[in-house]
Chain A
Amino acid sequence: MEYEPVIGIEIHVELKTKSKMFSSAPCTFGEAPNSQTVPFDLAMPGTMPVVNQEAVIYGIKICSAMHMNIARTLYFDRKNYFYPDLPKGYQITQQFHPIGTKGYVELVIDGKTIKVGVDNAHLEEDTAKQVHLSDVSLLNFNRCGTPLLEIVSDPDMHTGQEAMKYVETIREIVTYLGCSDGKMENGSMRCDINISLRPKGSTTLGTKSECKNLNTIANIGSAVDYEIKRQTEILESGGSVDQETRRWDEALKRTVLMRKKTNAIDYKYFREPNIVPIDLDEGFIYDAVHSMNKLPNQYRVEFRQLGLTDYQIEELLSDREFVLVFEDCIKLGVKSPEILWNFLMVEILGYLNKNEQTLQDLKFSRDALVSLVNIVHAGKINSRQAKEVLAIMLEEGADPVKIIKDKGLEQVSDTGAIENFVDEVLACNAQSIADYQKGKDRALGYLVGQVLKASHGKANPTLAKELILKKIRPCGSNK
């Protein structure tokens, strides 16, 4: 029998607010243990939750980017269970009325666009961090209460590649919106993947396994592919898949069993009585939606219109900071997006990586970069010279026009001056002229080269070529 894998994904996104979801303690990373809390974070008796406006705004933006319905009234619920990292003995979440419902994201795979449904997205709070030593566990409440948006997809995906692309797309959305760092490796984005198989053509879902501990996008692909293989083997040998939670083991390159899902905990969900329903007025939602940053898919369309290749677009989109510089330069009137891309993604990126710097460290303005691109585009200097100028700009930050002038790099575009060089060269290269006139095109290149050499590289090659042609045009081709 042929089986069809069905995949659904839950993603916890840590929101990049300044303070916590329900308390005013700062959200920071890497501070001394328990130095970033207020009494609420330790669930001191009598403390009460107060909803962070920015977390709500981020929630609205992300939901809006996923084409979801945005709740007009916010409700919160309690999820009750005991665990050392959950000081209140319950987590405040949105079980019954999520901030976002029923949307979708579009994934582009091999040029084809597919839609993956998003069932809901809800706001909640992160737990404390535990460190396990040899004989004790330590609790650090700094992370406790960090806002989370949990995004729950529909079971719409069928391959490891789709799962990867889905997570990547969500990551792009949340990072482009500036709502999260989206770093899977340090836990600011955490994925749980549900995978089940069903006979092809069937519409009911099979028994699923849930896979955790996926901290890179590549792991997601590997884990899904592994699970599909594992479950297929079980079904083909006549067995049945157990409902269980599994963990991706990076060293073993396979998923391993964590626990069977029997006796699931009853979380005794009920409405959080300390948070009276919050009406979001239309203006508030409008402002949140209309202050959204541009999303990757919008950029894809725009950059394609500028003539960039898919490869160039994806390279550029991998870092929003570069996209912003690129976009600014376009606005400032760059004449060649292609040359700009090369400077940004090859020279500048290479330089920054080598020196462990970021775009913020650049010593020159966007105007200077535009000016350099346009000088190259106009043919005033060649690309080798441009690299030389850019190198100086990166090191010293001077204005490109000044560098060119100081270094005397500007190409000679004065016809009279070039004509002198041309005459000089033609006078001592009779053989080449003859060759060219016989039809050997290569001879023309040689002559242009000689002119450049004579001018110490400053002659504008296009002009030089035109002048040579004017003088040695082969017989009979004069139209």
Chain B
Amino acid sequence: MIKVTKEVIDLCAENLLFKLNPGQTDLIYEEFNTIMAQIDFLKGIKGVDDAEPMTFPYSEHQRFLRQDKPIKPVKAELELSNSHSRIGNQIKLPKVVGNKNDEMDE
């Protein structure tokens, strides 16, 4: 486990691309005291660590796959109608410096 510190909290926020208002880091830090105690409580439940993590509410699987039939796409003007940052039919952002590979593994 990564130790919860105020720096870690701020880093989490930064990675989620928002800034916390003054006082919020402290509040989260305090909340973590509660959360960690609750995590310890979960840890103490008999058999919990032998259980299979559950994502779906029940075990029924799906067999459905979509047929590879393209549908008519939405017109660009409509599709981008909610964007306030456009040039023509493209979305514009401040210049993305370098390329993605500078930061991401694909």
Contact = CB atoms under 8 A, between A and B. Distances in A.
Interface of A: 12, 17-19, 24-27, 32-39, 42, 50-56, 73, 81-85, 127, 130-140, 190, 192, 212-213, 245, 247, 258-259, 264-266, 271, 273, 275-279, 281
A134 B66 CA distance: 41
Contacts of B74: 37-39
Interface in B66-106: 66-71, 73-76, 79-80, 87-96, 99-106
Contacts of A258: 101-102
Nearest to B58: A276
B91 A212 contact: no
A38 B95 contact: no
Contact of B91 (A27, A53, A139, A245): A139
A25 B73 contact: yes
Contact of A36 (B17, B55, B73): B73
Contacts, number: 138
12 contacts: A19-B66, A19-B69, A24-B71, A35-B75, A35-B76, A137-B92, A138-B90, A139-B91, A265-B105, A276-B56, A276-B60, A278-B63
A136 B92 CA distance: 6
A271 B55 contact: yes
Given A137-B93, A259-B102, A276-B62, 17 more contacts: A24-B66, A24-B71, A25-B70, A26-B70, A32-B76, A33-B76, A37-B74, A53-B65, A53-B66, A136-B93, A138-B87, A139-B91, A140-B90, A213-B101, A264-B105, A276-B56, A279-B61
Contacts of B99: 130, 132
A39 B79 contact: yes
A34 to B, nearest CB: 4
Interface of B: 15, 17, 55-56, 60-71, 73-76, 79-80, 87-96, 99-106
Contacts of B75: 35
B9 to A, nearest CB: 15
A416 B28 CA distance: 109
Nearest to A91: B106
Contacts of B62: 275-279
Q: Sorted from nearest, which 5 A-B pairs have the closest CB atoms?
A: A54-B68, A26-B70, A53-B65, A34-B76, A138-B90
Given A34-B79, A140-B90, A56 B65 contact: yes
Contacts of B73: 25-26, 35-38
Contact of A81 (B70, B76, B104): B104
Interface of B is mostly: loop
A130 B68 contact: no
Contacts of A136: 87, 92-95
A245 B98 CA distance: 14
Nearest to B62: A276
A393 to B, nearest CB: 38
A279 B63 contact: yes
Contact of A135 (B61, B65, B95): B95
A192 B69 contact: no
Given A55-B68, A137-B96, A73 B91 contact: no
Given A84-B96, A137-B95, A277-B56, A18 B61 contact: no
B21 to A, nearest CB: 20
Contact of B93 (A82, A84, A264, A277): A84
B71 A25 contact: yes
Contacts of B96: 84, 130, 132, 137
Contacts of A264: 105
Contacts of B102: 258-259
B56 A12 contact: no
A33 B76 CA distance: 8
Contacts of B101: 212-213, 245, 247, 258
A51 B68 CA distance: 9
Contacts of A132: 95-96, 99
Contact of A18 (B15, B69, B79, B93): B69
Contact of A51 (B55, B66, B103): B66
A264 B69 CA distance: 39
Contacts of B100: 83, 85, 127, 130
Contacts of A55: 68
A117 B75 CA distance: 45
B68 A17 contact: yes
A266 B106 CA distance: 13
